Amino acid sequence: MTEYEKILLTREKTRPTARDYILNLITDFTELHGDRRYGDDPALIGGIGFLDDMPVTVIGIEKGHDTGEKISRNFGAVHPEGYRKALRLMRQAEKFHRPVLTIVDTAGAYCGIGAEKRGQGEAIAENLMEMMSLRTPVLSLFIGEGGSGGALALAVADEIWMLSNAYYSVVSPESCANILWKDPEKAGEAASALKLSASDLRGFEVIERVIREPDGYSDGMAALKFYDRLLKEIRDRFRALLAVDGDKLLEHRYERFRKIGRVE
């Protein structure tokens, strides 16, 4: 499969979305709504529950499967109130010493009049700064699309795990081709030039793990096994991270980003 074919796969409507992961990984999931400032963004699901026996906060960007669901979820394009809801829930997690699992799947933060008026850039900027000082473990799971600042706003994490077909990029390959070569048809070339695949990102040390996907998600048994293994691995990682002293955790998180593009 080429890089671009993998990207097209992440946009398939049958591919599991954040909600599917929450249903399969979290028991007693209790959704918590709203940013307490403006509204409740349906593109971003937040809540609390158990990961096995461990209380956790989960925040996921939801794209929806069928057309109706996609429209009601705004195609997984988050507004400022979504990012502010996420920050509210992360601070709450910090207060109760719960680890935070973010599930990232978005083509990008929403571009629109309301989003701009309510400070899309400011909302993302605040998350980047505040997540750097959040004294509780944060793990980001990239399950499909990782579109630029809209994905990064939930991914200032201690670790990023990515599914093998997922991507994470500064720009969509279509926009990149359009801006640089005035030709959206060259998206395939842009996708390989951008080096946005899970294995490339592992090479750059931008992510910690590549999670092998099942051959398809329609085989119920294979999918169950996949979720079960993932659940245990995330739980074990959170256990290890919870044992790390708060100052060390933050030092490590800072260094994780500090080293990228360091000039001695």
DSSP string for 64-81: -SSHHHHHHTGGG---HH
User: Is 1 one of the binding residues for another protein (CB under 8 A)?
Assistant: no
Judged by CB, which is closer to another protein: 16, or 173? 173
Positions 62 through 81 that interact with another protein (CB under 8 A): none
User: Is 160 one of the binding residues for another protein (CB under 8 A)?
Assistant: no
Residues in Cβ contact with 194 at an 8 Å cutoff, skipping those fewer than 6 apart: 169, 170, 171, 173, 176
User: Is 104 one of the binding residues for another protein (CB under 8 A)?
Assistant: no
Alpha helices in the chain (DSSP H): 3-10, 18-25, 67-72, 80-95, 113-117, 120-131, 148-152, 173-181, 187-194, 198-203, 220-242, 246-258
Sole binder of another protein in the list 111, 185, 219, 224 (CB under 8 A)? 111
User: Is 185 one of the binding residues for another protein (CB under 8 A)?
Assistant: no
User: Is 109 one of the binding residues for another protein (CB under 8 A)?
Assistant: yes
Token duo for residue 232: 């245990």
In the bound complex, what is the minimum distance in angstroms from residue 24's beta carbon to another protein?
Answer: 28
14: number of Cβ within 10 Å: 8
229: number of Cβ within 10 Å: 12
Judged by CB, which is closer to another protein: 23, or 180? 180
Query: Which DSSP symbol is given to 15?
Result: S
User: Is 156 one of the binding residues for another protein (CB under 8 A)?
Assistant: yes
User: Is 61 one of the binding residues for another protein (CB under 8 A)?
Assistant: no
Q: Reduce the DSSP state of residue 16 to 3 states and report it.
A: coil
Query: Nearest to residue 32, comparing CAs of 131, 98, 123?
Result: 98
Interface map 194-223 toward another protein (x if CB under 8 A): xxx----x--x-x-----------------
Positions 123 through 152 that interact with another protein (CB under 8 A): 124-126, 128-130, 132-133, 148-149, 152
In the bound complex, what is the minimum distance in angstroms from residue 89's beta carbon to another protein?
Answer: 19
Judged by CB, which is closer to another protein: 26, or 156? 156
Backbone angles phi, psi at 119, to 5 degrees: 80, 60
CA atoms in the 13 A half-sphere facing the CB of 239:
10
Binding residues for another protein, rule: CB under 8 A, are 109, 111-113, 115-122, 124-126, 128-130, 132-133, 148-149, 152-153, 155-156, 168-171, 176, 179-180, 193-196, 201, 204, 206, 253-254, 257-258, 260-263
